[in-house]
Amino acid sequence: MTLIYFILILGIVVFIHELGHFLFAKKAGIYVYEFSLGMGPRLFKFNRKRKVKGKDGKVTYEPDETDYCIRLLPIGGYVQMAGEEVEADESIPADRRLQSKPWLSRFMTMVAGVMFNFLLAIVLLFFIGLINGVTLDSTKLVNIDSSIYPTLKEGDRIVKIGGKMVNNYDKLALELTVQGNKKFDMEVKHANGNKEIVPVEPKEVLDENGELLGYDYSFQVDGDDYHSLWGAIRYAFGKFFSMIEQMFFTILYLCTGTLSIKMLSGPVGIFSVVGQAASGTAPFLSLVSLLALISVNVGFINLLPFPAFDGCHALFLIIEKIKGSPVSPKIENTIHNIGFLLLMLLMIYITYNDILRLF
C-alpha cells in the first residue's frame, strides 16, 4: 500500500502542477503537443474528442491536438508547448506559438504550475483544519521539566532559538534541526511580557538498535485549539505561510552551509516518509498533510530562478520586459539544459544518500 500511496501523492502533486501550465496555455491559445505525467518510456496515450461546429451548423467530434500520456517513472511530468524549442515548428501557425503571445499570458503560463501547487496546499490544509480542528500559536511551552528549567512556566512562548526568531512550529522545528546536538540559548517570553534567555542542552533519543531517533529538550510545545470555520481558514493560511518560510530558510541554510545537503530527500526518502504517515494513528489525515507539504515544496522549488525551473523561465521573461527584447532562445535553452543536467546529478546524489539511510 505504501507504493500505491507514494504514486498517488506524487501523481496528484505533479498533475496539479502541470494542469496549471496546461490550462493557462490553452486559455492563451498556445498549441500544446503533450500533457504527460511521469518521465521515461510512454506507457499509453489518448486524445480527447473536441466538439467542432461546421458552417452548416452540423456538429462533429475531432481528436484534440494534445496527446495525454502516462509515462513509466512517477517522478515528474511536463506540458510540451509549441514555441519552447529553438527552431520554430513551421507546421504550427505562428499565432499558436508561445513566443507570439502577450507577455502577461506567457508569464502566467510559466508560473501557473506553482500557483496551482500552492492553491492545492491551502485547500488541503483548510480541509484538515475543518475536519480535525487546528492548533495555532505552536510555540507555547508545556510539559516543562522544572528541575532543569525552574524559571519557566506553562504557557511561556519561545521567541528565539540560537538567536534566530521563531514564531511558528515549522520555523521552530527547522532551527532545532540546525542546532542538532549542540548546546544553545533559547529566548522565552513570559506571560507578563518579560523575556529570559535559557540555556538548552539536547539529549539524544536512541532506538533499541542505538540509532538516533531525535532529541529530548525536557520540554514540549503546544498551541491553542480551535474547532471552527474561521479557525480552519486561519490555520490553512497560517500553516501555508509558515511552510513557505521554512522552505526559504532551508534553502538559505543549504546555500550558506548551515545545513548539509545530505539532509535533503528525494523519491526514496519521500517513499519512507509516506510509509511512516500511512502507519500512524490517523493515516488519512497524515497522508493529506504530507500531500500539502510536498505540494508546497514542489511549488516553492519550482519558483526558484534556477535553470530548468519555472522560476528561471519567469526570470527570462522579466529580463525581456526590462530590456525590451527577448533573450536568445538558443542561449535560454542552453542554460536550461545545463541546469537540467545539474539537477539530475543532484538527484542521483540525494537518492544515493536516501538509500544509505535505509541500511
For residues 217 and 274, which has the higher predicted lDDT (pLDDT)?
217
Determine the Cα–Cα distance for residues 51 and 74; give it in Å rounded to an integer. 32
Q: Calculate the dihedral angle through the C-alpha atoms of 146, 147, 152, 156, rounding to the nearest 10 degrees.
A: -50
- The average confidence (pLDDT) of the chain is 86
The answer to pTM > 0.95 is no
Phi, psi torsion values for 9, nearest 5 degrees: -65, -50
In order of 205, 228, 269, 346, the CA distances from 209 in angstroms are 11, 44, 21, 31
Residue 82 has pLDDT above 80, yes or no: yes
**pLDDT digit string (tens) for 90-144?**
888 888 998 889 999 999 999 999 999 999 999 999 998 888 777 766 788 889 9
pLDDT of residue 297: 92
Q: Residues 187, 166: contact at Cβ < 8 Å?
A: no
109 and 50 Cβ atoms separated by less than 8 Å: no
Vertex 42: Cα angle to 41 and 45 (nearest 5): 175
Sign of CA dihedral 305, 307, 310, 316: positive
d(CA 165, CA 185): 12
**What is the Cα–Cα distance from 316 to 312, expressed in whole angstroms?**
6
What pLDDT was estimated at residue 87? 75
18-47 as b/e: b if 16+ CB within 10 A: bbbbbebbbebebbbbbbbbbeeeeeeeee
Q: Cell triple for residue 46?
A: 489518448
31: pLDDT strictly greater than 70: yes
pLDDT band at 358 (very low <50, low <70, confident <90, very high): low
Q: Decide yes or no: CATH 2.60.450.10 for domain 135-226.
A: no
Please answer whether residues 279 and 90 qualify as being in contact, where contact means their C-beta atoms are separated by less than 8 angstroms.
no
Q: What residue segments make up the domains of the chain, in order of their start?
A: 1-28+103-133+227-359, 135-226
260 with 177: CB under 8 angstroms? no
Predicted confidence (pLDDT) per residue in 304-335, tens digit: 988 888 999 999 999 999 988 888 888 888 88
